Amino acid sequence: MPPFLVTSDEFTDWLRTDGARIGGVILVALIADFLLHRIVPRAIKIPVRKSMPGIEAGEIEARTHTLANVFTTAGRTIIILIAALTLLPLAGLSVGPLLAGAGIIGIAVGFGAQSLVKDIISGLFILFDNQYSRGDVVTVGGVSGLVEDVGLRRTVLRDLDGIVHYVPNGEVGVASNFTQEYSAINMNVGVSYSEDLDHVMAVVDRVGLEMAEDPEIGPSITEPPHSLRVDAFAESAIEIKIVGRTKPIKQWDVMGELRKRLKKAFDEEGIEIPYPHQVQVTAAKANEPAKEDDEPPPAGE
């Protein structure tokens, strides 16, 4: 008799036995998944905060989110597997042959999944070494961008063009993090060779201090921009090195504002910023007639 052709009594008995067990397993799995997503982030945040003393709250949150996402994803996978293995016997399927078949398939897949294993192992090192987290700006695998997600297998970056890049963790040989703990101001400004360099550097330092005291841009600055040295004798300018520090990922905003204020300050102080000039010289034509007032000089002179 087909399994769906059952009497009401048989269906009631099934609900009291296997049906109740199936419902119980699903309910327990849902509760476990709910608790996993509630408890893990809070449990991870405590050791992360202790391991990152003096670090901004935003960076601690990013680190916590990255680790919590990995552990909750792994935990959910385990919960689903356990629930499936528990439900299969209740549905009348034998787990033994299924596990044996899965083992054979796993061995076959294992030979062709070396890159996957490499990605996962590399992902573990990236996470535990805190090389980068969600919200950082990095260069990995030859690609630069904002980290949108970090998993055991791949890192997701979005560049300034809005393009999303999926970089396998196994290809991350060198990871360059532009925004870990703090960010740096590192730029050059060129001035004319005729300028008084002491005066120029004093103007740079004054503008940097004014920015640090500004109520809008100042909170992003942890070390005011200041002139470090005469960095180079360039072809048409003397270059002054300017350095400073900002909060993570704020260096580009600060440097953009600094360039704008330096241009205004240099204009007010009469400091020249050299730029390429083109001078066009037009030669007189050989057959051009002489003007009436261009008379030849008297003879003998």
133 with 213, same domain: the answer is no
13 with 75, same domain: the answer is yes
Q: What does the radius of gyration of the chain's CA atoms come to, in whole angstroms? A: 35
Query: Within a domain: residue 78?
Result: yes
168 with 194, same domain: the answer is no
157 within 8 A of 164, measured Cβ to Cβ: yes
15 with 106, same domain: the answer is yes
Query: Within a domain: residue 294?
Result: no
- Burial-class residue 59 by CB neighbours within 10 Å (0-12, 13-18, 19+): buried
66 within 8 A of 127, measured Cβ to Cβ: yes
37 with 102, same domain: the answer is yes
Phi first, then psi: give them for residue 177, nearest 5 degrees: -105, 120
91 with 14, same domain: the answer is yes
Task: Give the contacts of 136 (CB within 8 A, at least 6 positions apart).
Answer: 62, 146, 147, 177, 178, 179, 180, 248, 249
201 with 130, same domain: the answer is no
225 with 145, same domain: the answer is no
Calpha distance 145→216 (Å, rounded): 26
Position 182: which residue type? Y
Instruction: Give, for all 301 residues of the chain, the pLDDT tens digit.
Output: 445 556 676 667 766 777 777 888 888 889 998 988 888 888 888 777 776 666 777 777 777 887 888 888 888 888 888 888 888 777 666 666 666 666 656 665 565 567 777 888 888 888 888 899 888 999 998 899 999 998 888 999 999 999 999 999 988 888 999 998 899 999 999 999 999 999 999 999 999 999 999 999 999 999 999 999 999 999 889 999 999 999 999 999 999 999 999 999 999 999 999 887 666 777 655 555 555 555 555 555 4
228 within 8 A of 195, measured Cβ to Cβ: no
167 with 260, same domain: the answer is no
Range of the domain at 71: 9-112
Phi first, then psi: give them for residue 255, nearest 5 degrees: -65, -35
Give the neighbor-by-neighbor strand order of the sheet with 175-177: 164-168, 154-158, 143-150, 137-140, 175-177
Query: Within a domain: residue 299?
Result: no
Token duo for residue 59: 């960076």
Query: Within a domain: residue 274?
Result: no
132 with 206, same domain: the answer is no
Query: Within a domain: residue 172?
Result: yes
HSE at residue 147, side-chain half, CA atoms within 13 A, is 30
Helix (H) and strand (E) counts for the chain? 7, 8
82 with 138, same domain: the answer is no
Query: Within a domain: residue 290?
Result: no
108 with 134, same domain: the answer is no
Query: Within a domain: residue 105?
Result: yes
| Number of domains into which the chain is organized | 3
Dihedral sign for Cα atoms in the order 144, 147, 149, 151:
positive
Token duo for residue 246: 């900002």
CATH code, domain with 89 = 1.10.287.1260
Q: Which has the closest alpha carbon to 217: 181, 258, 180?
A: 258
Phi first, then psi: give them for residue 209, nearest 5 degrees: -65, -40
Query: Within a domain: residue 288?
Result: no
